[in-house]
Structure 1
Amino acid sequence: MEMDDMTKVAPDVVEESGTGTGRTAAGREEREGRTARTGRGGIPEWATRRRVLFCAEILVSLAAALGYTLLCGRIDVNPMIRVAQVSGLAKMQQYAALLGIPILALLLYTAHRGSLMRHQLVKRLVCAALAGLSTGVVAGGVVVALNGTPWALGGQEGDPSVLIDMGTSFLRGEGMSGIYPPAFPALIAVWAKLRHGGTLGSGMALQDLQIFFTAIAGPMAYAAWRLLLRPFWALLIAVPSAVLFIDPIRPYSHGTMIVLLPLLGYWLREMRRAEHRTTRRNLVSGILLGLVFGALFLWYSGWYVWAAPGVGLLALFLFPWRGGARKVKATLVYIGATVATAAVVGAPLLYQMVRLGADNPDRYAFLSVYADPAYVLGWVSDRSGGLTYRTWPVSGEMAGQTGFTLLLLFGAGLGIGLGLRNIMVRTAAAVLAGAWLARFWFASHMVQAKAVQLYPRTTWIIMYCLMILAVLGLMVAVDRGSGWLERTVRPRSADGDGDGAPRGPVLPRRAVQQLSAGMVCVLALFATMGASWSVNRYMPDKDEKSMGVDAWRAHTLKKPNGTCPRFAPVKDCADVKIQNWKPTADRGYLWCGGLDPEEWPAVCGRRAPKD
């Protein structure tokens, strides 16, 4: 069983201490038989297998996320009133505490009292549960914000309306929606038909999917990182990234980014190990990962654009060009199986991109386009409230950079400096460099091309890469620091205390696991605070420049029976429109959103259009 504490100073196998030397052979045989049945630390042998444990972590994480989300359905407040919103947020925190405190108490108890093996098992499951709860709180907040209405965030305006129209087009047999990834709109169509009676139910299906995929973002992020990291470190990346990046309006988009990067690192790691596997295993492994990459491409393809340059160059660098014919052949089999399978699965969208890509420029500008392009540690949507490019981003203390920025960059420096041999450090650094160059290439050509080409979205993937590097830098520093203590504090010539008795580790095993448990508790507190911050942004608000307007709009549409939702803020609710998706006409110029008409000449370089 792998070592799950914050450092590797404790051995993977912990032997139970004896009570004397006068044990009979029969007693030893009895103990050996009991150990074979129950495993070490009183844990059944089957429960120590890695695949069993990994599946258990995923199930626990999903159960925590979805269970908490369902529990929030019991919160019955009027989300259109601010004090009711506050009461709802408080009730959510109460639920999170009632669920979280007992499992954290169990973690602390095993850290102080339990055997190492039992503590490791508990910590695995606790970390998995916390990953689920972190985004379960965000999904639960959406449930509270949409209490009383069957419609999705956004109603039938903006991006949600486009997704609903795409789903309607699929229901009517029109198929692909231009170059937009088709998997999520197709799922809207399927769920609307199965659960909500067809085309009228597309908006209701979108609400279900917004809540579901927001809830499982944490478990999926944690599961992806567990392919590469121990539980604590996987949790330390999965929770902050999921809470920070997930957007309940389009949870599939950022969920893809969060999962894609560790999967790319895992694929590169397995590529380097291809020579140690048979041809059949390389084919099977490559095909399975190709299926995953192809499905993610159909789910949301945008992150491949920003990740591909760096990962492609890194793959060429890691390819065993001088490794001999056998090694080269094994690696080519693995790469070929992955790429071919992914291309076959993603072929429908790839075909549309080749056929229509040049005819679909992105010309939509908003606050992130007007701000300093070198700022990549904060994000605002096209509903930025009272912020302008003159007031955002807020200038920090050191050349405009905040203390958080400097701390994050310092951590990333640790990762690159101390952990460059780690495949995930290389992957994150390569993706960061590629996305950075792509960002400024598109931004520098924006005026001439009159197109934004979605370059502000590189903010997310660059910030994610910096977070990954910082966490991995901390991990490597802890591992190396513990190793340095072992080599320095312990006399090199002595293996014991002089009488033949073995020495324990320099850092007491119990102290390490207690420290690790304490850090998990603090991370849990951050998760609940961060998730509440995320949820609060989506509480209904009439202000069209706020993010809460999406929930507000959902309460202004008539229900299928023709009546207004329970907490409708208007007397005359709007009728639900059912229409197919149609591509918007290309205006040929930048559309500068979030600006008053008189600001267009100074910001966008032209007068605001009359329409």
Structure 2
Amino acid sequence: MTHLAPEAIGEPGATRGGTGTSTRKGGGPAAAAAGRLRVWFSRRWVRALAEAVVSLAAALGYVLLSRHIVVNPIVRLGQVSGLAALQKYAAVLGLPLLALLLYTAYRGSARRHALARRLVCAALAGLATGVIAGGVVVALRGTPHPLGGQDGDPGVLIDMANSFLHREGMSGIYPPAFPALMALWAKIRYHGRGETGFALHDLQIFFTAVAGPMAYLAWRTLLRPFWALLIAVPAAVLFLDPIRPYSHVVMIVLLPLLGYWLRHMRRPEGRTTRQLVLRGAGSGLVFGALFLWYSGWYVWAAPGIAVLAPFLFPWRRGGGAARKAGLFVGSTVAVAGVVASPLLYQMVRLGAENPDRYAFLSVYADPGYVLGWVSDRSGTLTYQTWPAAGEMAGQSGFALLLLFAVGLGLGLGLRSIMVRTAAAVLAGAWFARFWFASQMAHEKAVQLYPRTTWIIMYCLMILAVLGMMAAVGRGSGWIERTLRPRTAPAGGPAAGRVIPQRVVRQLAAGMICVTALFAAMGASWSVNRYMPSEDVDQMGIDAYRAHTLKERDGTCPRYSPVKGECEDINKRDWKPGPIQDFIWCAGILADEWPSVCGHKAPKGVRSRTDVERDRMAKLAEEAKKAESEKKAESAKK
């Protein structure tokens, strides 16, 4: 069977064409050094380590490079120049990598190209999110504060980190690992309380940058470089939220790790009891740490995995296999439970006291739409205009193509553990989504059900890519069996491959180049959304707010649009807010609350009259400012 990105590259003595044995002897010190390097890279762990190092170096190196982009991020022309500079640096770093990949695909040996493909794919995964992190650096140039300033979720994270600095312990049922890391970094780098916002600024950039490498390396536990890149890069670019980069990284890496774990549980033969216990304990440590990092995705993944795992357990392989699998599962659950116990305890103690009652555009829209996401800063969109209706029963051409590829995955690749894992998580999250949505009006609780949009779409993307992989494998295998001569001539050489490996390598290299181009365009799209804007209904308001807070010395940031009127840095600790008994309908004017939320708006919600009055006041202020500038110009003349 021919794979689009094969790992098999022939014997160690293969020459440029991938066949034959080298007969050169000696060659001097250079040849000896090359031989030692070949032997070194023949070790599996060395190749894996090289991929990790290259990917992380590409991501973090790009972030350091982006610090040399000097623009005013408040001005739109400065933002455009910054976006262009980001793409320029991406081209400077990425084009030589793609040139190397294409050269080795056409002129290099199979072994050399396999190594180049590994490292180039790893570097591209790092560059994809490195560009997004570099965009955050540009958007926050001149201010030490994070995206969001100290409002909304960033403000809550800052308060939680302050509580950790005061040794007040856990902050309710929110995963504690990231706020604790903020507190630790603020203490090490910024001398503690009052500077936790500066720590959040640094961590937003760092974890945005490493999201691509983490996604790619997680998928490399199951897939070959090209296919791992084809899932990791679109997922990281599409789902990454630089305001809270830690949350979506957990979702992206959790699914391949679940598939990896289920594969080992299903086939425990060939490993000793000690190996299984150690592997299970290691898996439990990872799952427990991810739970403390961000636990939300476990809620949506749990139903499908709970149903799938018993079907994959090796009940019919004999008592020995079942006992070994039981040890593997037991060690995983035990270690994961111990690591995650602080948060699990809080959830049991306080979970019922923390209902989610916050609604926004995705809550008002059709719950059956899962191929797009709108945050609570949805601009001029309403539930009547979003999502836009597609050509067939409201579904777009992209949706139909995606579903067709998903059908290939289910139809041709169901024997794959990862296909079963993604399908089970998809089904479980789909059921949970509509369970909570159907109870929302009665229970007066949203329960975060719109977040299932992300994990459902992610599962669809996984199944689509695995479907394409299965189609390529099955199709090339059928071509080989059909067109290859059935018998070789008497005394002649054996029949070669119908599809030469050289052609496969070249095709894979071309597809990697296209994936890199998508990553560059998609990263620029993602960055552009976060460029500073004073419009409170756009995502750029988060970067704008970071420029309106005072620095440590009490002055405004360099490019602040509100010179002399910057806000003070708050130093408050986290306190649980009052629990309301109704759903808060964000983004809805007071006049529309009865028709959307079913009851009258509480005090403080703006009405159409308030909006119009504010608009007129802003126009009057702008006219007055223009008149004063005109008078000043006339006096100067």
Q: Under a length normalisation based on structure 2, what TM-score does the superposition of the two structures give?
A: 0.91
Among residues 521, 543, 558, which one is paired with 2:550 in the alignment? 558
1:506 corresponds to: 498
Shift in Å, 1:11: 5.6
1:458-473 matches, within 5 Å, as 458-473=452-467
Shift in Å, 1:275: 2.6
Name the stretch that deviates more: 465-474 or 324-333. Answer: 324-333
Letter in 1 for 2:578: A
1:16 corresponds to: 14
Deviations 1:188-211 (CA, angstroms, capped at 9, x unpaired): 000000001111110000000000
Shift in Å, 1:348: 0.1
Distance 1:502 1:9 in 2: 23
Within the alignment, does 1:441 sit opposite 2:439 as a pair?
no
Distance 1:362 1:377 in 2: 23
Shift in Å, 1:108: 0.5
Contact 2:5 2:225 in 1 (8 A): no
1:327-346 matches, within 5 Å, as 327-346=321-340
Contact 2:143 2:558 in 1 (8 A): yes
Letter in 1 for 2:243: I
Distance 1:221 1:163 in 2: 24
Distance 2:342 2:534 in 1: 40
Among residues 85, 92, 95, which one is paired with 2:86 in the alignment? 92
1:233 corresponds to: 227
Distance 1:489 1:159 in 2: 60
After superposition, the Cα gap between the structure-2 partners of 1:489 and 1:540, relative to the gap in structure 1 and judged at 3 Å, is same
1:54 corresponds to: 48
Among residues 582, 585, 605, which one is paired with 2:578 in the alignment? 585
After superposition, the Cα gap between the structure-2 partners of 1:274 and 1:34, relative to the gap in structure 1 and judged at 3 Å, is farther
2:189 corresponds to: 195
Deviations 1:172-221 (CA, angstroms, capped at 9, x unpaired): 01010000000000000000000011111100000000000000000000
Shift in Å, 1:48: 1.7
2:111 corresponds to: 117
1:524 corresponds to: 516
Contact 1:14 1:116 in 2 (8 A): no
Q: Residue 377 of structure 1 aligns to a residue in which SS?
A: coil
After superposition, the Cα gap between the structure-2 partners of 1:113 and 1:362, relative to the gap in structure 1 and judged at 3 Å, is same
Contact 1:5 1:232 in 2 (8 A): no
Letter in 2 for 1:136: G
Distance 2:178 2:589 in 1: 34
Among residues 519, 542, 546, which one is paired with 2:538 in the alignment? 546
Shift in Å, 1:14: 7.0
Distance 1:384 1:551 in 2: 16
After superposition, the Cα gap between the structure-2 partners of 1:541 and 1:4, relative to the gap in structure 1 and judged at 3 Å, is farther
Contact 2:3 2:473 in 1 (8 A): no
Shift in Å, 1:581: 0.3
Contact 2:2 2:473 in 1 (8 A): no
Among residues 595, 602, 615, which one is paired with 1:609 in the alignment? 602
Contact 1:4 1:231 in 2 (8 A): no
Within the alignment, does 1:175 sit opposite 2:175 as a pair?
no
1:221 corresponds to: 215
Distance 2:8 2:276 in 1: 34
Distance 2:130 2:24 in 1: 48
2:180 corresponds to: 186
Contact 2:3 2:472 in 1 (8 A): no
1:50-89 matches, within 5 Å, as 50-89=44-83
Number of aligned pairs? Answer: 599
Contact 1:5 1:120 in 2 (8 A): no
Contact 2:16 2:109 in 1 (8 A): no
After superposition, the Cα gap between the structure-2 partners of 1:560 and 1:35, relative to the gap in structure 1 and judged at 3 Å, is closer
Shift in Å, 1:156: 0.6
Distance 2:311 2:33 in 1: 48
Deviations 1:381-402 (CA, angstroms, capped at 9, x unpaired): 0000100000000100011000
Shift in Å, 1:5: 5.9
Shift in Å, 1:312: 1.2
Shift in Å, 1:576: 0.8
Contact 1:36 1:45 in 2 (8 A): no
Q: Residue 317 of structure 2 aligns to a residue in which SS?
A: coil
- Work out the percentage of aligned pairs sharing the same amino acid: 68
Deviations 1:70-111 (CA, angstroms, capped at 9, x unpaired): 110111111100011000000000000000001100111101
Deviations 1:34-66 (CA, angstroms, capped at 9, x unpaired): 999855xx9511112211101100100000000
Among residues 571, 577, 587, which one is paired with 1:594 in the alignment? 587
Contact 2:139 2:543 in 1 (8 A): yes
Contact 1:192 1:205 in 2 (8 A): yes
Shift in Å, 1:12: 4.4
Q: Residue 191 of structure 2 aligns to a residue in which SS?
A: coil
2:344 corresponds to: 350
Deviations 1:375-434 (CA, angstroms, capped at 9, x unpaired): 000000000010000000010001100011011111111001000000000000000000
Letter in 2 for 1:16: A
After superposition, the Cα gap between the structure-2 partners of 1:36 and 1:473, relative to the gap in structure 1 and judged at 3 Å, is farther
Q: Residue 607 of structure 1 aligns to a residue in which SS?
A: coil
After superposition, the Cα gap between the structure-2 partners of 1:335 and 1:235, relative to the gap in structure 1 and judged at 3 Å, is same
2:527 corresponds to: 535
Shift in Å, 1:322: 2.5
Distance 1:358 1:204 in 2: 34
Contact 2:175 2:295 in 1 (8 A): yes
1:485 corresponds to: 479
Q: Residue 114 of structure 1 aligns to a residue in which SS?
A: coil
Distance 1:75 1:36 in 2: 44
Distance 1:360 1:577 in 2: 25
Q: Residue 346 of structure 1 aligns to a residue in which SS?
A: helix
Letter in 2 for 1:500: G
Contact 1:139 1:215 in 2 (8 A): yes
Deviations 1:317-351 (CA, angstroms, capped at 9, x unpaired): 11122222111110000000001000000000000
Gaps of 5+ in 2: 605-637
Deviations 1:251-295 (CA, angstroms, capped at 9, x unpaired): 000000000000000000011121321110011000011000000
1:112-191 matches, within 5 Å, as 112-191=106-185
Q: Residue 199 of structure 1 aligns to a residue in which SS?
A: coil
Distance 1:539 1:233 in 2: 32
Distance 2:204 2:16 in 1: 55
Name the stretch that deviates more: 462-471 or 503-512. Answer: 503-512
1:566-585 matches, within 5 Å, as 566-571=558-563, 572-585=565-578
Distance 1:437 1:308 in 2: 12
Name the stretch that deviates more: 10-19 or 77-86. Answer: 10-19
Distance 1:271 1:246 in 2: 31
Contact 2:161 2:179 in 1 (8 A): yes
2:635 corresponds to: none
1:385 corresponds to: 379
RMSD across aligned positions (CA): 2.0
